[in-house]
Amino acid sequence: MVRKICLLFCLLFVTLLLHAQSAFKKNDIYLEAGGHGLFGSVNYERQLTRSPGLGVRIGLGFYAENAFYLTIPAGINYLFKLPGKKSFIDAGIGGSWTKLDGRLFGDTQDALEENIFNFIPSIGYRRHTAKDMMWRVSFTPVFNEYVFLPWVGLSFGKRF
């Protein structure tokens, strides 16, 4: 009987300890200036592991240069934990599909349409804050059939 009571108290204690620990948030939704969306984007990211590690992302963004481009950034990344509880090196590889369409924003002149795929590797620093927020600064060079462009991205968003 004493064994059962001790076992019950031990299980209750372990359950309370596990419940008191904050769970790792696997989802991020964030705004990114520059980066994979080119000028700006809204992105959703999901970590595929129980702790920081492999993740996937998808977004919707834009790019403007004499016309508006709709962009759809997507990719995979890996978070490498740094000393400190919530700091990471964020390394990834991805791309952004870009559709040039002068009609997208009501410009009927020169309604040129073209699809471009941008290959975008990335390396940066990511920080998770105490209030379930995240921010990131990344080097995200853009490669496509026309250009190589050194580029950066700044992200800020909410973890859930």
In angstroms, rounded to a whole number, what is the distance separating the alpha carbons of residues 30 and 8? Answer: 44
* pLDDT confidence of residue 77: 97
Residue with tokens 């590797």: 121
Query: 48 is in which domain, residue-wise?
Result: 26-159
Q: Is 12 within a domain?
A: no
Instruction: State residue 112's pLDDT score.
Output: 57
**pLDDT tier at 7 (50, 70, 90 boundaries)?**
low
Number of domain units in the chain:
1
Confidence (pTM): 0.77
Residue 35 lies in a domain: yes
**Angle of CA points 151, 124, 41, to nearest 5°:** 55
User: CATH number for the domain including 34?
Assistant: 2.40.160.20
Across the strands, what pairs with 95?
Answer: 74, 119
Q: What are phi and psi of 141, to 5 degrees?
A: -65, 145
Residue with tokens 């359950």: 15
Residue 32 lies in a domain: yes
* Residue whose pair of structure tokens reads 């299980």 in the numeric block: 11
| 18 assigned to some structural domain | no
* Residue 15 belongs to a domain: no
Does residue 16 sit within a domain?
no
Dump pLDDT digits (tens) for 97-144: 987 654 544 555 555 567 889 999 999 999 999 899 999 999 999 998
Please give the structure tokens belonging to residue 73.
């950034």
Cβ proximity of 158 and 135 under 8 Å: no
Closest alpha carbon to 126 in 66, 67, 86: 86
Residue 46 lies in a domain: yes
Asked if 79 and 62 count as a contact pair (C-beta separation under 8 A), the reply is: no
Output the average pLDDT for the chain: 84
Q: What is the pLDDT of residues 28-57, one digit of tens each?
A: 999 999 999 999 999 999 999 988 899 999
The answer to the question of residue 43 being in a domain is yes
